[in-house]
Amino acid sequence: MPPQTLLDIGSVDLSSTVVTREQIYEVIPHRYEFALLDGFCHLDLQTREMVAYKEVRGDDYWVRGHIPGRPLMPGVLMIEASAQMISYFVKVASPHDGFMGFGGVDNVKFRGQVVPGDRLVLVGKMEEIRPGRRAIGVAQGLVNGTMVYEGRITGLMV
């Protein structure tokens, strides 16, 4: 049985957008194929909680080759989308120069599939922020309320 979500997802309006893609671009550098967030529907700097989303489209660059005839979003892209969500949070909560890169991923589990047409909802909670040095956050991915992914991500300033 999957663990509980990091926050009560029923308390979040998943149809709202509190941070747009353009606002994400103002904070983190990812572009083109690697801009993996379409927006945030919840961002709480006090509780260190966030909910972001990615609309998975049939024309995403990986669809053609990642299992032809049965496209599945690669797990590594779910991790990357979560890392972008955490990076955005850290840069807004604790502004500093520099780029947050991967320092590690731990306790990752994939529990379901993500396919074109899905909305991947990413739920995150920060465990630690050391401004200008490192940040650790826990992330979960949901599709239609079902957990498809979870993991712990460490980011380092590079």
Point out the residues that are catalytic.
66
Conformation bin of residue 38: beta by default, left when phi > 0, alpha when psi is -120 to 50: alpha
Alpha-carbon dihedral 141, 32, 73, 27, rounded to 10 degrees: -10
Q: Tokens 């460490």 label which residue?
A: 154
Report the alpha-carbon distance of residue 77 to residue 105 in Å, rounded: 13
> Own/partner pairs for 66-74, CB < 8 Å, 24+ apart?
71/115, 71/116, 72/113, 72/114, 72/115, 73/113, 73/114, 73/115, 73/118, 73/120
DSSP at 62? T
Quote the distance between the C-alpha of residue 3 and its chain's center.
Answer: 18
